[in-house]
Amino acid sequence: MTIPPIDILKQYWGYPEFRPMQEEIIQSVLDGKDTLALLPTGGGKSICFQVPALCQEGICIVISPLIALMKDQVFQLQKRNIKAEAIYSGIHYRAIDRILDNCAYGNIKFLYLSPERLTSELVRERLKKMKVNLVAIDEAHCISQWGYDFRPPYLQIAEIRDFLPEDIPFIALTATATSEVVLDIQEKLEFRAKNVFQKSFKRDNLAYVVLHEEQKLVKLLEIVRNVKGSGIVYVRSRRQTKEIAAFLQRNNVSADYYHAGLSTQNRSARQDAWIKNTTRIMVSTNAFGMGIDKADVRTVVHMDLPNNLEAYFQEAGRAGRDGKKSYAVLLYEIADKERLKYGFEQAFPPIKEIKRVYQALGSYLQLAVGGGEGESFDFDIIKFTKNFDLNLVTAYSSIKLLEQDGWVLLSDALFRPASLKIMVNKGELYDYYLRNKKHEVILKTILRAYQGLFNDFGTISESKIANHLKIKRADLSKALKLMQQEGIIAYREEKDSPQLTLLQERVDAKNLTIDTAMYEFRKRSYQERMNKAIKYAEEDICRSQQLLFYFGEDSKACGVCDVCLNRKSTALNNDEFERYKMKIQAMLQKEDLSLDEVADSFVPKRREKVLKTIDYLLDEGILELENGKLLWRKNE
């Protein structure tokens, strides 16, 4: 029996009504239709699959590439008393087995899977035993090689249709997709019929601003002082996050920094302080912001131009989700263009270098040829590059290219709590107590707090145990390692590190196959996206219009970006501009005319504004001047 979606929304989220387009998307899913939901950042995408899944009996399979995002969504669901689990790289086999059993035979409503996990036989066999009511594919743009964040495991998602009932719908969700990517998503997921719900990317409350600045820190300080409220400052490197946060603090601005290299505990504490407005400005790499539900961000500042407009649009769109006036500011200088071009060259190292990095990975992980398929390893790229005398950027780029060719997968930092098992019987443990009084206190504290450790591994909290015993956590870990050496316990340390997963067995580097045609295609696509990002920053065309056009959406000038405000300062308002533009277009589509012929067709008192309109149209490339004649571009 299907429960009305609005009842689910009120019961679990407490909202009185849906946001625009959510209800239509949900109904499409409940009607059994494959559905692509294209909603901008902050548009409430998760509601679009969570509500219909809860309306029906059965479990929803959610595929997501980001461990942090999966963990956050599972946590948010569990807070609402909705049973949800997640499986991703690094989880122990026994835990995976238990979760899959609960999903097949228990009452779990949501199972979050990383795409590479979906390809394993273990998961596929258990999926056949589950009563699946919906498959949701988050960050669906990752399936397209036209997109900016292609992930090869996404290409295998459609294979699970073979062992699910035919009427189980797929819902794909993304915040950023060009028209090519929209078509590609539906094709690669084998949609039974095209079905796209696309909310306009237009954000009337958000002013996009590009400021050409050499003194970026001075301008940043001016912005955060003038625009009150919460903000994010995006930078390229971890070092910059710390330096710029310190600069803001020295100037009496409440600020902190965030990047993937911080511990999970540290990242969580800083994120919470920012969400609660204890910290006002967060200086971060692009590791920050995904999945964070904070509506009152007033400004997002980019200190550097991202490689593509998809990334920029998604990050800038974290401002003003509450509909109030907000700003997305890009601080740009000519040197940024050169840095982007240099980054492009480093992003595509020669095939020979990629093979060298692959060979080094095998040695670093101590893997024999023919082994390693499906295994995950803690991976410290800094240590790796130092051990093998590799350039850090080149090595990282090579690993990402190996990832796109389906050889490896490098995931974000994974937190796994410590666990242990008692390896001796109670009599032997008592004898050990008599010989080791210090360790006796530790073990008795653990056994009082955690049950079942004689039978199987159990998760423990090292910080809570250390606090209770009033000892340092490092000393606790040292003691547990010593007990493991003595054969008293089996101990798995707490860890918080990126994971490298081998998607195929290791081969000798000389036998490594790289699809060179696809390599060249990705290189061209990367360069085209980069050039469009540079054009966004450098051309005096309405910023909002440029972004919307990039995503296949036409619009009038926004009237609030830096280009439009500059146009207003010349006493030519948007209505006048649009009116003159339409008349000039009508004239020039009939015949090519000189500048004077166009200007003379208007009454004399309007000549100055008409000439300004022509100037803007020439600057924007809509008009061209050839042999003294104005030409209206055919594709405009």
Contact 265/417 with Cβ under 8 angstroms? Answer: no
Contact 480/464 with Cβ under 8 angstroms? Answer: no
Distance of CA 72 to the CA centre of its chain: 13
Q: Which long-range contacts (CB under 8 A, 24 or more apart) does 512-520 make?
A: 512/354, 512/355, 512/358, 512/407, 513/405, 514/351, 514/354, 514/355, 514/401, 514/405, 515/405, 516/351, 518/145, 518/404, 518/405, 519/348, 519/351, 519/401
Helix (H) or strand (E) holding 400: helix 392-404
Sequence-ordered alpha helix ranges (H) in 113-237 = 115-118, 121-127, 179-188, 216-226
In this prediction, residue 634 has a pLDDT band, given cuts at 50, 70 and 90, of low
Per-residue pLDDT reduced to its tens digit, 83-123: 999 987 667 777 888 899 999 988 899 999 988 888 788 88
What amino acid is encoded at 431 in this protein?
A: D
The token pair at 337 is: 């263009």
Pairing of strands 132-137, 59-63: parallel
Contact 151/119 with Cβ under 8 angstroms? Answer: no
Residue 525: how many other CB atoms lie within 10 Å: 17
How far apart (Å, rounded) are the C-alpha atoms in residues 397 and 382? Answer: 14
How far apart (Å, rounded) are the C-alpha atoms in residues 622 and 103? Answer: 57
Per-residue pLDDT reduced to its tens digit, 496-552: 677 888 889 999 999 999 999 999 999 999 999 999 999 999 988 889 999 998 988
> Is the predicted pLDDT of residue 387 greater than 80, yes or no?
yes
The DSSP line for 331-382 is: EE-HHHHHHHHHHHHHHS--HHHHHHHHHHHHHHTT--TT--TT-EEE--HH
Region 193-197: what's the mean pLDDT?
Answer: 96
How far apart (Å, rounded) are the C-alpha atoms in residues 50 and 584? Answer: 50
Distance of CA 285 to the CA centre of its chain: 12
How far apart (Å, rounded) are the C-alpha atoms in residues 331 and 603? Answer: 41
Per-residue pLDDT reduced to its tens digit, 234-267: 999 889 999 999 999 999 999 999 987 787 778 8
Q: What is the pTM of this model?
A: 0.75
- Please state the length of the chain: 636
Instruction: Using the structure block, give the residue that is written with the tokens 């589509």.
Output: 589
Q: Which long-range contacts (CB under 8 A, 24 or more apart) does 573-580 make?
A: 576/609, 576/613, 577/613, 577/616, 580/606, 580/609, 580/610, 580/613
In this prediction, residue 412 has a pLDDT band, given cuts at 50, 70 and 90, of low
Name which residue leads in pLDDT, 2 or 476.
476
The sign of the torsion formed by the CA atoms of 362, 367, 369, 372 equals negative
8-state DSSP, 111 = E
> pLDDT > 90: what percent of the chain?
56
Pairing of strands 376-378, 495-502: antiparallel
Instruction: Using the structure block, give the residue that is written with the tokens 């989700």.
Output: 321
> Is the predicted pLDDT of residue 409 greater than 70, yes or no?
yes
Contact 370/483 with Cβ under 8 angstroms? Answer: no
